[in-house]
Amino acid sequence: MPLVRSLGDGLWELRSNLPNRIARCLFYVPYGRIVLLHGFIKKTQKTPTEDKALAFKRKDAHTQFDSRQKTA
């Protein structure tokens, strides 16, 4: 069964156990929408720093793009 936990600053992690591996999807929820930022197969206990950094970078880019779209 998938589980969700907060990684802070509006970023969430969806955890799903697949046969022989564990999948992760990082996302955030602006304005009642779910925006998927990054997915990967997890190989360690902790969520890798590089994967979190990439998700935060994409979240910031999406937030800036989305705010420009709303003002246009």
Output the pLDDT for position 58.
95
CA distances from 65 to 4, 34, 51 (A): 26, 15, 21
Q: Which amino acid is at 66?
A: D
Q: pLDDT tens string for the chain (72 positions)? A: 569 999 999 999 999 988 888 899 999 999 899 999 999 998 888 889 999 999 999 999 998 887 766 665
pTM, two decimal places? 0.82
Output the pLDDT for position 46.
85
